[in-house]
Amino acid sequence: MYTRTHALGWTLALWAMGCSEGPVAPTDVLRSDARQGSDGASAGDVRSETDAAVVTDASAMPDVPDVPDVEADAGCTLGELTVAAAGVTVVAPFDTVYRAFDLGRVPGLPMTRYGGCLIDRNDPNRMYIGVDSELATGAIYAVRVVRGCGRHIVGYAGMAERVASAPYVDANLFYDRDGNILYSMWPNNQVGVLAPGGTMPAQVIDLSPLGIPHNASPGGLAFVPVGFVGAGELRASGWSDYGWFRIPYRYAAGRYTFETAQRRAMFTAGTGGIAYVPVGSPMIARPSIVMAEWSANVAFFEADANGDARPETRRAFLQGLSNAWGAYFEPVTGDFMFPSWGNDRVVIVQGFNAPPPPPPPPPIPG
């Protein structure tokens, strides 16, 4: 088993808007393989009825630019992934549709702890990845990726380069509609915001004063996507108290103001990186969320009518992983990508639909 040494203590230095001026230095604490969840039993057969959590009105979809296209696959002569992800099993019945591949270690990075990953919204052949995850030295690197048959990512091109400081970066990186990158910061119980082109966080937002206890510091963080009820709202999954939270916020002039969080669910294990499954993906008939469960599994959970995960609906998806932690659907093909924390590899699962663009912020009440 892999043992993780982290930090838990903190000091508060809030901005007037509820944001700190920077990440805070913690004291040592042990995070162990207690993250690992049981395989669990299937919550029942996948059902095909329309769910109240899905927005079916096309007029509700925002008018946002598509992800830039890449060249067609020219009769599938551009290459494809052939290396199966070692030790990873796609659980039945999903193994009839989905395939897991190993993209391997990112060139140019030392042996380190990978955080979340993200495809550049302006360049579909450029991937960002968190490095030195959960450490004060955390940073985001960029590396070129190669696309092959079906426009799937099949490899890397060149060496990774450091593009931004991101202390304590963890399992999720994702864009908002304006091109800011939000990321979870464990164990500091914070959220970082990188402005477009920024090389250091423009905001570091402390969650402790907002009702999220320090032992629920989010590793997982995501916007509810377009197509779901609650699109644009923010959700978080906390380690190690296994909580699921809604974090209301206001967004104006490029800055976030977070408000008091609401605990919406409790899990019994796992609660790593999270991502909403693109609507219409094969064998996922109901609106669902995928979660990396430290340390060996990835599972699906149905979303309720508010866009929150329902722990009792767990369905195993991937097993046999080492330190599963990130969760991300890349925008061109919908391939599910997750870096493996401490094992220095990126795993890709093919078979999903492409996700929608980032959602607009929810309306400001009143």
Above pLDDT 90, what percent of the chain? 67
pLDDT of residue 64: 37
In this structure, what token pair is assigned to residue 3? 């043992």
SS3 breakdown of the chain: % helix, strand, coil, rounded to 5?
5, 40, 55
| Local confidence band at 365 (pLDDT 50, 70, 90 cut-offs) | low
Sign of the dihedral through C-alpha 265, 266, 267, 272: positive
Q: How far apart are CA 135 and CA 169, in angstroms?
A: 7
| pLDDT attached to residue 14 | 31
Is 352 a residue whose pLDDT tops 80? yes
Binned at pLDDT 50, 70 and 90, residue 172 comes out as very high
312-to-9, 73, 183, 329, 342 alpha-carbon distances in Å? 32, 41, 27, 24, 30
Domain map (residue ranges) of the chain: 35-350
Per-residue tokens: 31: 């995070």
Tokens 């380190």, residue located: 112
Question: What DSSP designation does 303 have?
Answer: B
Reply yes or no: is the peptide bond before residue 68 cis, omega within 30 of 0.
no
- Phi-psi sector, 103: left (phi>0), alpha (psi -120 to 50), beta: alpha
DSSP characters over 65-104: PPPPP----TTTTS-----B-TT-EEPTTGGGT-EEEEEE
Mean pLDDT across the stretch 218-235? 96
Please check the confidence at residue 366 and state whether its pLDDT lies above 60: no
- Indicate the residue type of 16: A
Topology at the third CATH level for domain 35-350 = Neuraminidase (2.120.10)
| Full DSSP string of 123-185 | -TTEEEEEESTTSTT-EEEEEEEEE-GGG-EEEEEEEEEEEEE-TTEEEEEEE-TTS-EEEEE
Instruction: State the pLDDT at residue 27.
Output: 32
Say which amino acid occupies 214: H
Confidence of residue 78 (pLDDT cuts 50, 70, 90): low
| Mean pLDDT calculated for residue range 165-178 | 97
For residue 11, how many other CB atoms are within 10 A of its CB?
A: 8
Tell me which residue of 145, 158, 152 sits closest to 78, measured CA to CA: 152
Q: What is the pLDDT of residues 247-292, one digit of tens each?
A: 999 999 999 999 999 999 999 888 899 999 999 999 999 999 999 9
Q: What is the mean pLDDT of residues 230-237?
A: 96
Q: For the whole model, what pTM was predicted?
A: 0.82
Rounded to whole angstroms, the Cα distance separating 239 from 228 reads 25
Average pLDDT for the chain? 82
Res. 18: pLDDT tops 70: no
At residue 54, the pLDDT reads 61
* pLDDT for residue 10: 31
Distance, in Å, from the CA atom of 264 to the CA atom of 102, rounded to the nearest integer, reads 34
